Amino acid sequence: MTIGRHRPTQLIIDQAAIYQNIATEKARLKPGTELFQVVKANGYGHGITQVARTAEKAGATGFCVAILDEALTLRDAGFTQPILVLGITDPKYADLMASRHISATVGSLEWLQTATQVIKVPHQLTVHLGLDTGMGRIGFQHPAELETAVKYLIASEQLEFEGIFTHFATADAADTAYFEQQVSRWQAFMAVLPEKPKYVHVSNSATSLWHEVCNGNMIRYGVAAYGLNPSGTELTAPFDLHPAMSLTSELVFVKQLPAGRSVSYGATYTAKADECIATLPIGYADGYERRLQGFHVIVDGHFCEIVGRVCMDQLMIRLPHEYPVGTPVTLVGEDHGLTISLQDVADYCQTIHYEIACGFTSRVPRVYR
């Protein structure tokens, strides 16, 4: 998608906030515990390589991604740290992963068997075994399956047993009953290991924030690095998280709308009195959700309602009085003592802030400060 560099809409990424969120968490970790920064989905919308460089400076010793192409992006950008692909990659790419020193997540013996037939380079493929303790997504489901796979892995000359992990489904919830069930299943899996690999990790942001006793010797630090509470509003983080993303634009058209006239597709908003209506150059093609009709933005210290349906490339707001074209607008962030957070946007859309942050498209330029 073309980047919109010649319009005033932009995402502003505060690199100092990301640095502080990572450094603060790293300082809380027990000695010997490593922090791998999760930079999947273009760094949760913040920019994969830029976030990785900031994380590196803040003390991250490795990275986690979702797909192989994201790992290759980091390697091509010059990062030499360990990189773990958290999703399942087709074993036909095992040779490529080995040659680029990228670690694979594996959840079946069949994957290991296929990979050994593919690897031809003079390198071993480092493998992390994923365990399904209750997430129901990927990974071994029974200790006996794990035991068989570990024996195969240890005996293989093409493979190296680098890590083992699971993922908790409810680490961000006040009710810990299901979390404790997963911990119990994890312990049953670990009991069949003849010895532990280099990395033993179960903690995402939520687990590390609220269940740090489970951290193992590595954490996968995700959404909290971006200043977002993984629990939303249910649990309070043990330290202040500093949001790194702001979204700004400007008024590009301002008009007086007579009473009785309507705005946008479907004529879902009609002015009850003469009103001042302004247009912003941002829409749902930029990731600003169509369902945000009736929400608000900030203009000069005023919350201004979004009126009419959000269009593909534009949206309209009601101003308290006329402002000139070029007046700044804050859609996410702080301005004049008012704040609109990604959580506020997510709450209005009845979703989570992860989805909002990841949803901003590449048409919106990221500006790093």
Instruction: Summarize the annotated binding site for substrate as residue ranges.
Output: 137, 312
The binding site consists of: 137, 312
Neighbours of 229 (CB within 10 A): 21
Q: Which of 279, 307, 291 is nearest to 355 (CA)?
A: 291
- Tell me the sheet residues that pair with 272: none
- The catalytically annotated residue of 30, 92, 196, 265 is 265
Sign of CA dihedral 344, 348, 349, 352: positive
Judge contact between 112 and 152, C-beta under 8 A. yes
Please indicate whether residue 57 is annotated as part of the active site: no
What is d(CA 79, CA 60) in angstroms, rounded to the nearest whole number? 12
- The catalytically annotated residue of 26, 40, 323, 354 is 40
Q: Which residues of 251-275 are buried (b: 16+ CB within 10 A; e: fewer)?
A: bbebeebeeeeebbeeeebebeeeb
Could you tell me where the beta strands, DSSP code E, fall in 230-307?
245-250, 253-257, 262-263, 269-270, 275-280, 296-299, 302-307
Q: How far apart are the first and last CA of the chain?
A: 23
Judge contact between 180 and 217, C-beta under 8 A. no
Lay out the sheet containing 125-131: strands in order across: 199-201, 159-166, 125-131, 103-106, 83-88, 62-65, 34-38, 218-221
Contacts of 206 (CB under 8 A, 6+ apart): 168, 171, 172, 230, 231
What is d(CA 369, CA 360) in angstroms, rounded to the nearest whole number? 18
What is d(CA 365, CA 206) in angstroms, rounded to the nearest whole number? 29
- Residue reference for tokens 């629990």: 231
Please indicate whether residue 92 is annotated as part of the active site: no
Length, in residues, of the chain: 369
Q: Classify 199 as helix, strand or coil.
A: strand
The residues that are catalytic are: 40, 265
